[in-house]
Amino acid sequence: MVLEQSGQIKGLALIFWEFPIGRSIVEVMTTPELAGNLCEIDLVQQPVAKAESHKLSAAHICVMADSGMGKVLEQAWFTKVRTYLDML
């Protein structure tokens, strides 16, 4: 799914289907100026609705800790399940 404004791509959402386990993995990317914008929330909700239409019961989204996407996901009714730590 692509978010386009004034002829420019401002964001996209990729969906990876995992039908055998009833899950989808969603990746959302937007330009910085859309952070927390209603368009960004809609871009999250679209793939979730698509997953639900395919009878998938879970949608997982991994976000960077400092991205601000966590607040957007809370507005889209997601809950934090786990935290991953980088081992560098």
Helix (H) and strand (E) counts in the chain: 2, 4
User: Architecture of domain 2-75 in CATH?
Assistant: 3-Layer(aba) Sandwich (3.40)
pTM of the model: 0.73
Residue 12 makes CB contacts below 8 A (sequence gap 6+) with: 1, 2, 3, 28, 29, 43
User: Residue 8 — φ and ψ, nearest 5°?
Assistant: -115, 140
Mean pLDDT by 10 residues, the chain (88 residues): 90 92 89 81 86 89 74 79 75
Output the pLDDT for position 21: 94
In this structure, the number of other CB atoms found within 10 A of the CB of residue 72 comes to 23
Give the model's pLDDT for residue 75. Answer: 78
